[in-house]
């Protein structure tokens, strides 16, 4: 429950992980958004000539969460249990707080509870998307810098968690960048095109406002800076689904980055490390990444927190999707089932984005360790390139089998792949018959010469990042 200043009474125990970007959809935020919706409605009915002059300002002045006392909040809690949602109690408290009796008629005029909660949900989405986009944009900027700075930083590519062909860290970071830019594009699209006011009254036709209903709705939308939809959307829930979907998409993009970092930061790999971050404690305070049991540990906290947030997104989105089937003009339970997962999905998305900004801005890249890991592979990641030298003379299957045999021998014996190729008579004979010299073998085993279109891909990602924002 909010405190008397409209904020959370105390930080939640897990907020440091799951609400790093702020409690964007906690009880206090919902309350502020519902009061903003009620205030905008009052201003709209006054502008439409359905309430006395000054009523909108009077209601707006009363609709200040900071002015709600403990008794008001307790009343809201009791009323919610009686009516199945907080709006009837909120309307009563708000009406009582309007000093001018003549202005009280503007409170909740023409509306039903769902109008206020759904409109509040759109306001929460706008604030949450703005917060997430800010941090994702900063994270994308950091990823772009990493991609450009490490265009030629060699590292092992890994598929199915096993070593594959060499890549560069620049192309890895470019892949992160593309995901971040896509997340920003879709979040921005939904914010700009899909957030709409809700005002339909008792059954979605604004019967109590008569012919003025559509105009009041348009004025309310204008007051709040939300879209004015063609008609109320009480049981057409795709706007809620769209918000949830782009939030979950953002979490998916972030979880990819975080998972890569946790794997690359493993002690045995050691190719990247998380920096201290901008919330490092003072001397004597717990340090970032510390363990309660093992003083030597330096855990990838930002990545772990992102993964903890992102893992929740699919289930939360599923609940929104499952709740989209809503009967007639108001659902019995499905609408109610949206409230908490919707708010929680916004919160974990904003938190994951804030953690991602911290992660990528402060990421430490160990170029020497990457090079050492490439060298330690003994040339085996270049087996594909060697196979290509033999394909024309032996045919693809035979060439593949021959090189696979050589690779297996190298892996089992510890003899460098080059030496197995050049010092095993039956393999050496096949190479000679194909016109493959020692110089060609050594050239094929140079990882810097087998990077394909990586430079073009990095440039394309950077160019797309610099281009006008779009969904992708």
Q: In sequence order, what DSSP letters do the residues of 67-84 get, joined into one string?
A: G--HHHHHHHHHHHHHHS
CA-to-CA distance for 453 and 349, rounded, in angstroms? 33
- Residue 291 annotated in active site: yes
Specify which residues 294 forms β-bridges with: none
359-394 burial code (b ≥16 CB/10 A, e <16):
bbbbbebbeebbeebbeebbbbbbbebbbebbeeeb
Among 389, 373, 369, smallest CA distance to 381 is for: 373
Q: What is the DSSP string of 6-26?
A: SSBSS--TTHHHHTTT--TTS
SS3 57: helix
Report the alpha-carbon distance of residue 450 to residue 154 in Å, rounded: 10
Give the Cα separation of 448 and 381 in Å (integer): 12
Contact 176, 460 (CB under 8 A): no
Q: Are the C-beta atoms of 56 and 43 separated by less than 8 Å?
A: yes
| Among 196, 180, 190, residue whose Cα is nearest residue 244 | 190
Catalytic site residue from 208, 291, 413, 448: 291
Residue 395, classed as helix, strand or coil, is coil
Record the tokens describing residue 466, joined without a space: 């610099």
3-state secondary structure of 370: helix
The three-point CA angle 75-78-84 to 5° equals 125
Give the C-alpha separation, 279 to 17, whole Å. 12
Contact present, 254 and 312 (Cβ < 8 Å): no
> For the purposes of burial, counting CB atoms within 10 Å of the CB of 115, is it exposed (0-12), middle (13-18) or buried (19 or more)?
buried
**Cβ partners under 8 Å of residue 237, min gap 6:** 320, 323, 324, 326, 338
Distance separating the N- and C-terminal Cα atoms of the chain: 39
Catalytic residue among 92, 152, 215, 330: 330
Kind and range of the H or E element at 155?
A: strand 154-159
CA 22 – CA 347 distance, rounded (Å): 8
Q: What positions carry a catalytic annotation? A: 291, 330
């Amino acid at each position: 429950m909010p405190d008397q200043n409209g904020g959370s009474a105390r930080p939640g125990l897990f907020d440091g992980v799951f609400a790093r970007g702020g409690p964007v959809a906690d009880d206090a935020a919902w309350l502020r958004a519902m009061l903003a919706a009620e205030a905008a409605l009052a201003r709209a009915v006054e502008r439409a000539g359905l309430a006395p002059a000054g009523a909108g300002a009077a209601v707006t002045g009363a609709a200040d969460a900071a002015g709600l006392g403990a008794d008001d909040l307790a009343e809201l809690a009791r009323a919610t249990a009686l009516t199945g949602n907080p709006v009837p109690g909120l309307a009563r408290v708000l009406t009582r707080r309007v000093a001018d009796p003549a202005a009280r008629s503007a409170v909740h005029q023409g509306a039903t509870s769902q109008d206020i909660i759904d409109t509040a949900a759109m306001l929460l989405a706008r604030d949450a998307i703005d917060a997430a986009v800010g941090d994702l944009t900063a994270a994308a900027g950091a990823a772009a810098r990493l991609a450009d700075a490490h265009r030629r930083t060699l590292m092992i590519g890994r598929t199915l968690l096993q070593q594959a062909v060499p890549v560069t860290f620049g192309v890895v970071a470019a892949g992160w960048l593309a995901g971040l830019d896509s997340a920003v594009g879709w979040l921005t699209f939904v914010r700009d095109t899909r957030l709409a006011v809700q005002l339909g009254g008792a059954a979605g036709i604004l019967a109590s406002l008569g012919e003025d209903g559509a105009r009041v709705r348009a004025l309310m939308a204008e007051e709040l800076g939300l879209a004015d939809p063609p008609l109320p959307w009480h049981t057409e829930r795709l706007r809620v689904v769209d918000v949830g979907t782009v939030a979950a998409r953002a979490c998916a993009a972030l979880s990819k980055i975080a998972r890569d970092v946790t794997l690359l930061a493993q002690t045995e790999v050691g190719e990247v490390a998380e920096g201290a971050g901008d919330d490092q404690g003072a001397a004597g305070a717990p340090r970032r990444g510390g363990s309660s049991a093992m003083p030597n540990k330096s855990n990838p906290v930002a990545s772990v927190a992102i993964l903890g947030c992102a893992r929740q997104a699919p289930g939360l989105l599923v609940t929104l999707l499952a709740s989209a089937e809503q009967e007639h003009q108001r659902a019995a339970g499905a609408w109610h089932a949206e409230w908490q997962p919707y708010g929680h999905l916004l919160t974990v998305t904003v938190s994951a984005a804030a953690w991602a900004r911290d992660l990528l801005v402060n990421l430490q890249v160990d170029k020497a360790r990457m090079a050492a890991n490439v060298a330690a592979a003994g040339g085996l990641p270049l087996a594909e390139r060697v196979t290509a030298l033999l394909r024309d003379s032996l045919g693809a299957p035979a060439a593949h089998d021959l090189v696979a045999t050589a690779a297996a021998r190298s892996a089992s014996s510890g003899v460098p792949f080059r030496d197995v190729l050049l010092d095993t008579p039956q393999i050496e004979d096949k190479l000679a018959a194909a016109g493959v010299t020692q110089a060609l073998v050594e050239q094929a085993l140079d990882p810097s010469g087998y990077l394909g279109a990586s430079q073009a891909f990095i440039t394309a990602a950077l160019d797309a990042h610099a281009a006008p924002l779009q969904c992708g």
